[in-house]
């Protein structure tokens, strides 16, 4: 009896444990985001458990019901699903795939495990269906961010470089070429500054959508950043040649881009082209070559396409070398000032001097201002260089003034970049006060190129300077396309007649007519005139006859060090 009681208690305890285990397993299944399909080989029986009803509206009772599973998934998933459900045919223990349910666009991971006995025969199979839609979407989003630009939908820079590298490797094997077109909007800053960043972004987006129509197996299109795009072309020829693609782009640019706010915007592009293997043998090097050529196109007037040539790269590398040396020169203020005298035409008395910066590099070689000044204007070094030129010139002229008491005008070349500095006028006046230079003893030269960049802002500052008493001179007059139109709106005191007229004024009648017209017009408008580049006595006598006010050139004085100007002043002061 006791033994029977013990057996009953043991059985009851076992049942309770099984009941608890069953409850636990049921709770696990019910709270799981998965559905399970169990199959017993011995009984040839299927059973569905957990959240089966969440995914499917039918029950799998036998093998024939598996066809209903195949009907639920997208067509391309049917064969992989059929193969994974019967992995025992390949003696596999486990395998998983991903499928998509047609009706609900749910992404499922299907994982199959098979249990084998000691003889290697399958005894049990469990199939798990797990919802991975959210994870899949996140992975898709990460993949998109890794490969595509979010603003335009084009390839991003990193993925473009990767695909272009594949183009180049393939071209090397097949003896083909690969072209890269580097595209940049002209004057995009004006759009951003004038119409706002949102308008600028939409323009970038709309243009990117236009470029996306060119993409195919042989053409890659990428948005690098801001307003810069890059096109890679495998075996460029025929409809996918650089010329053809550029013509398509040019044709589109004849029409405005119409934005969502109703704005109609015309744009132009500067395009640089480089080809593998002519320009470079590597991916990044090829892109860099195309970019360098694009910058050259901008320097040549913008709105054009330019093809790689070795001399362009040589010129760029030379400029990079100069730029690096220039940074050091700015830090050490390693410049010297020369001064070219200006004379009154009538009696050859000294009117003043034009201050001219000179730079001798560490190797003792003189670098022309025509070379380093444009580089300084691009990288911003012109501001500290210009500040140094102004202070050094005013300091030297103040010293001359104290020694010789001669009424001298110092003429300074001012860059457009300097004029745009907010504190330009304030700093200039502080220096004139510091060195005791009267406003009328100072003349600032402005070029037409500087005016084109920002006519309104620069003109306002020139007006303020003129009201103070500082003279304003228009340099290189007559060489631009619209100099006459500037005369109506600019606060000009002096017109400098460009050297190109003086060079041929004796031998060419048309040049004489233009030169005399400039001088006559200047006098009518109340301007003083200065002829640049006077090198012969014959030129001087002619300018004297036509009543040009002043002359400047090698005939009476080359650019010279401050000590030589002192010798002139000493002679004038006697």
Residue 52 pLDDT: 84
Assess whether pLDDT exceeds 50 at residue 21: yes
Q: Pairing mode, if any, of strands 528-532 and 550-552?
A: parallel
- Looking at 46-60, 227-241, 444-458, which range is the least confident one? 444-458
pLDDT in tens, 55-66: 888 888 888 888
Whole-angstrom CA distances from 1 to 9, 10, 15, 48, 408 are 12, 14, 21, 43, 135
The closest alpha carbon to 154, from 97, 102, 207, 108, belongs to: 207
pLDDT in tens, 238-260: 889 999 999 999 999 999 999 98
The closest alpha carbon to 474, from 527, 552, 548, belongs to: 527
Q: DSSP string of 80-120?
A: HHHHHHTGGGGT-SEEEEEEEBTTT--EEEEEEEEEE-TTS
Fold of 32-136: Beta-Lactamase (3.30.450)
The closest alpha carbon to 364, from 334, 321, 392, belongs to: 334
Q: DSSP string of 321-352?
A: HHHHHHHHHHHHT--EEEEEEEEETTT--EEE
Assess whether pLDDT exceeds 60 at residue 24: no
Assess whether pLDDT exceeds 60 at residue 483: no
Exposure of 255 by Cβ count < 10 A (0-12 exposed, 13-18 middle, 19+ buried)?
Answer: exposed
* Residues 6+ positions from 455 with CB-CB distance below 8 Å: 486, 489
Nearest 10 degrees: Cα torsion 10, 16, 22, 27:
-150
What value does the mean pLDDT take over residues 348-377? 86
Question: Which helix (H) or strand (E) segment is 530 a member of?
Answer: strand 528-532
- Which tokens hold the place of 120? 């290697």
Assess whether pLDDT exceeds 50 at residue 339: yes
Fold of 326-573: TIM Barrel (3.20.20)
Confidence of residue 313 (pLDDT cuts 50, 70, 90): low
Exposure of 380 by Cβ count < 10 A (0-12 exposed, 13-18 middle, 19+ buried)?
Answer: exposed
Residue 169 pLDDT: 93
Exposure of 270 by Cβ count < 10 A (0-12 exposed, 13-18 middle, 19+ buried)?
Answer: buried
Distance separating alpha carbons of residues 241 and 222, to the nearest angstrom: 17
Fold of 148-308: Alpha-Beta Plaits (3.30.70)
- Looking at 314-323, 334-343, 453-462, 563-572, which range is the least confident one? 314-323
∠ CA 434-436-439, nearest 5°, is: 105
Residue 147 pLDDT: 80
Assess whether pLDDT exceeds 90 at residue 481: no
Confidence of residue 459 (pLDDT cuts 50, 70, 90): confident
Residue 317 pLDDT: 65
- Looking at 4-8, 369-373, 554-558, which range is the least confident one? 4-8
Assess whether pLDDT exceeds 50 at residue 482: no
The closest alpha carbon to 230, from 135, 321, 164, 313, belongs to: 164
- CA torsion sign for 209, 211, 214, 215 is negative
Q: What percent of the chain clears pLDDT 70, i.e. is strictly above it? A: 88
Backbone angles phi, psi at 474, to 5 degrees: -95, 110
Domain locations along the chain: 1-28, 32-136, 148-308, 326-573
* Residues 6+ positions from 487 with CB-CB distance below 8 Å: 474, 525
Confidence of residue 193 (pLDDT cuts 50, 70, 90): confident
Whole-angstrom CA distances from 536 to 352, 540, 543 are 20, 6, 11
Residue 326 pLDDT: 79
Assess whether pLDDT exceeds 90 at residue 12: no
Residue 372 pLDDT: 85
Whole-angstrom CA distances from 178 to 274, 304, 522 are 9, 21, 57
Confidence of residue 108 (pLDDT cuts 50, 70, 90): confident
pLDDT in tens, 198-223: 999 999 999 999 999 999 999 999 99
């Amino acid at each position: 009896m006791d033994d029977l009681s013990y057996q009953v208690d043991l059985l009851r305890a076992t049942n309770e444990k099984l009941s608890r285990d069953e409850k636990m397993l049921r709770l696990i299944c019910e709270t799981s985001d998965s559905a399970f399909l169990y199959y017993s080989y011995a009984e040839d029986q299927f059973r569905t458990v957990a959240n089966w009803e969440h995914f499917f509206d039918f029950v799998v009772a036998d093998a024939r019901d598996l066809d209903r599973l195949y009907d639920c998934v997208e067509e391309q998933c049917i064969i992989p699903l059929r193969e994974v459900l019967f992995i025992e045919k390949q003696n596999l223990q486990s395998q998983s795939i991903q499928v998509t349910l047609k009706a609900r666009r749910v992404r499922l991971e299907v994982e199959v495990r098979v249990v084998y006995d000691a003889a290697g025969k399958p005894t049990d199979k469990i199939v798990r269906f797990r919802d991975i839609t959210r994870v899949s979407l996140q992975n898709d989003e990460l993949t998109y961010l890794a490969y595509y630009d979010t603003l335009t939908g084009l390839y991003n820079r990193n993925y473009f470089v990767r695909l272009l590298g594949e183009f180049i490797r393939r071209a090397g094997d097949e003896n083909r070429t690969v072209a890269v077109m580097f595209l940049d909007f002209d004057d995009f800053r004006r759009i951003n500054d004038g119409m706002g960043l949102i308008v600028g972004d939409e323009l970038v987006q709309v243009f990117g959508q236009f470029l996306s129509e060119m993409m195919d197996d042989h053409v890659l299109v990428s948005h690098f950043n801001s307003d810069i795009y890059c096109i890679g072309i495998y075996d460029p020829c025929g409809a996918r040649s650089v010329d053809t693609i550029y013509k398509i782009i040019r044709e589109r640019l004849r029409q405005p881009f119409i934005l969502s706010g109703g704005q109609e915007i015309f744009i132009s592009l500067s395009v640089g082209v480089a080809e593998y293997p002519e320009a470079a043998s590597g991916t990044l090097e090829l892109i860099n070559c195309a970019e360098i050529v694009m910058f050259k196109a901008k320097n040549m007037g913008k709105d054009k396409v330019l093809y790689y040539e070795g001399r362009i790269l040589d010129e760029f590398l030379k400029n990079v070398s100069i730029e690096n040396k220039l940074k050091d020169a700015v830090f050490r203020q390693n410049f010297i000032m020369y001064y070219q005298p200006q004379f009154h035409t009538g009696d050859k008395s000294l009117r003043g001097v034009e201050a001219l910066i000179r730079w001798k590099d560490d190797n003792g070689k003189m670098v022309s201002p025509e070379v380093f000044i444009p580089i300084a204007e691009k990288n911003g070094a012109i501001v500290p260089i210009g500040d140094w030129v102004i202070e050094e010139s005013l300091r030297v002229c103040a010293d001359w003034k104290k020694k010789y008491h001669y009424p001298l005008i110092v003429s300074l070349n001012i860059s457009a970049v300097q004029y745009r500095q907010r504190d330009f006028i304030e700093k200039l006046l502080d220096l004139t006060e510091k060195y005791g230079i009267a406003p009328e003893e100072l003349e600032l030269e402005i070029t037409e190129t500087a005016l084109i960049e920002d006519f309104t802002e620069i003109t306002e500052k020139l007006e303020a300077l003129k009201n103070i008493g500082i003279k304003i001179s228009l340099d290189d007059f007559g060489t631009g396309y619209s100099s006459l139109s500037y005369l109506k709106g600019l606060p000009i005191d002096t017109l400098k007649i460009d050297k190109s007229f003086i060079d041929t004024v004796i031998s060419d009648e048309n040049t004489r007519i233009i030169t005399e017209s400039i001088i006559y017009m200047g006098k009518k408008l109340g301007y003083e005139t200065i002829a640049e580049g006077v090198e012969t006595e014959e030129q001087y006598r002619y300018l004297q006859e036509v009543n040009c006010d002043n002359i400047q050139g090698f005939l009476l004085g080359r650019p010279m060090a401050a000590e030589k100007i002192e010798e002139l002043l000493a002679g004038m002061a006697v």
